[in-house]
Amino acid sequence: MSNTTPKSMAAPGITRSKAEAVNAADTRELYKKREPIYPKLAHGKFRFVKWVIMALALGVYYLVPFLRWDRGPGAPDQAVLVDFAHGRFYFFFIEIWPQEIYYVTGLLIMAALGLFLASALFGRVWCGYACPQTVWTDLFIMVERMFEGDRNARMKLDRAPWSLNKAWRKTGKHAVWLVIAFATGGAWILYFHDAWDTLANFFTGTAAPSSYVFAGVLTFTTYTLAGTMREQVCTYMCPWPRIQAAMTDRDALNVTYRIDRGEPRGAHKKNDSWDNRGDCIDCKQCVAVCPMGIDIRDGAQLECIQCALCIDACDDIMGKVGRPTGLITYETDDNIDRFVKGETPRYPFIRPRTMVYAVSLAIVTALMLGALVTRTHLELNSQRDRNPNYVRLSDGGVRNGYTVNVINKANAPRVMDLAVEGDPAIGVRILGAPDLMPGQIEIGPDRSQDYVVYLTLPDDAIDGPREEITFVVTDQETGETARSPSVLITGAE
């Protein structure tokens, strides 16, 4: 493939790079040293979308800890807070206790199904736009570009001997990287303690040791992964590119080179005919902008994160040479084959795979929403003593012991009746309920409290090996109830 066309012969505005795909299959080595990649800045609609998503994602990450949400006195007022010390997770109006971790499980299942669905429809959109590795790498490359210029300038700078100019540019870049990395690690810890307090404590040296550890670790990983490792993370460390093969199919949209349009490729002089040749002028702009260092024209590759920057680069060129855009585009494998055969494309977005994902996602979402909406502020659990199974009393009666756990998720103390449904002859004794009427318990705000309850069944009321009973707790003010079924073992035949 010749790359010797004089610039004067090219269409106006066309730039030509001696870009080589450093990760192309042909040039791989054993014991591979990382080849630096110098992604060129792309311009176009996908680059714009990526800027917007980057701004949103970073904005959410850095600013959310500072949002406030009034939960009343005694409760933290941080809108999003993972409070390990007190075992609570706060998300705006939602408060989750450790035993409700299934909400998080549900969220993870929803995220996984959403990822599957998105992959089946649009390929690796997560990798290309939203993955933190992609977002932060993009940000770091932006900084690099600010200090060292675009692709050619950076390559030149790296080849150049050390000078004051090179030194300050490199130093400045790494300094800003470190600041961003520290801000990333620093923002992380704000999610686990009150953000303003943590901020103040952090710089006066009085924050929790874990805060410093996590801020340090995440500063290091952000700097390393986004600054120096970049595409290596996606190619070697992330399992998703491997899983991806099972997630997409021939009908999923992928960033694809239209081989039917492009080939045979070759340099094109300004007034040459477009007959008997493809639209690809082999300008390698798609390779120059690629942050993964691959050539999209080689076809689907596991390195490709489908960031679509090559689409922007190619569309730009196609516009300048006067050919239709979309030589590199979101297209399905199936349609590429159809184009080659001269058939019309089809886009079966509704197919069994997407339906299964969509319906599963809808079901899980509905279940989780249902659970969230019907979440009560009162819970009751009971555990019957197994050792001893029952206690025979001197008068022939029988007693069973229970640990009854009452959870008050409301942010106010509550007085409640704790009663037992079942044989009316059953006597109830609750340990540790002072200064109240019999059968009453008082439980503090936002608390889980265990009570020891002894149930006694008199001799003359025993008429079988077991009695079905139910513990019922009733809020005296609101009438809210919670129930927990159990049994009373009599030991009788």
Partner 1 sequence: MSEHDETRETDAHSGTETTGHEWDGIKELDTPLPRWWLYIFYASIVWSVIYMVFMPAWPALPGLAGETDHTRGLRNHSERANVAEALDELAEMRASGFAALEGASIDEIESNPELLGFVRAAGEAVFGDRCATCHGVGAQGFVGYPNLNDDIWIWGGSYDEIRHTLQVGIRSEHPDTRFSQMPAFGRDELLSRSEIADVSDYVLSLSGVSADAGAVGRGQAIYDVQCASCHMDDGRGDRAQGAPNLTDQNWLYGGSREQIIATIHRGPYGVMPAWEDRLDDATIDALAAYVFLLGGGEDATARPTGQ
- Chain residues binding partner 1 by CB under 8 A are 25-34, 229, 232, 236, 385-388, 391-394, 396, 399, 401, 429, 431-435, 449-450, 452, 454
- By C-alpha distance, which of 302, 292, 285 is closest to 134? 292
H or E stretch at 427: strand 427-430
Q: Cα separation of 115 and 134, whole Å?
A: 16
Q: Cα separation of 99 and 467, whole Å?
A: 29
Nearer to partner 1, 23 or 484 (CB): 23
Nearer to partner 1, 1 or 350 (CB): 1
Nearer to partner 1, 156 or 392 (CB): 392
H or E stretch at 133: helix 132-148
**What is the smallest separation between the CB atom of 377 and partner 1, expressed in angstroms?**
20
**What is the smallest separation between the CB atom of 27 and partner 1, expressed in angstroms?**
6
**What is the smallest separation between the CB atom of 489 and partner 1, expressed in angstroms?**
13
Nearer to partner 1, 5 or 301 (CB): 301
Contacts of 452 (CB under 8 A, 6+ apart): 401, 402, 403, 404, 430, 431, 432
Q: Cα separation of 345 and 36, whole Å?
A: 38
**What is the smallest separation between the CB atom of 251 and partner 1, expressed in angstroms?**
23
**What is the smallest separation between the CB atom of 270 and partner 1, expressed in angstroms?**
36
Nearer to partner 1, 164 or 246 (CB): 246
Nearer to partner 1, 259 or 391 (CB): 391
| β-bridge mates for residue 402, sequence order | 384, 453
Nearer to partner 1, 132 or 491 (CB): 491
**What is the smallest separation between the CB atom of 103 and partner 1, expressed in angstroms?**
29
**What is the smallest separation between the CB atom of 490 and partner 1, expressed in angstroms?**
14
Q: 249 in the Ramachandran plot: left (φ > 0), alpha (ψ -120 to 50) or beta?
A: beta
Q: Cα separation of 24 and 18, whole Å?
A: 15
The H-assigned helical ranges of 191-296 are: 195-204, 209-222, 231-232, 240-247, 259-262, 285-289
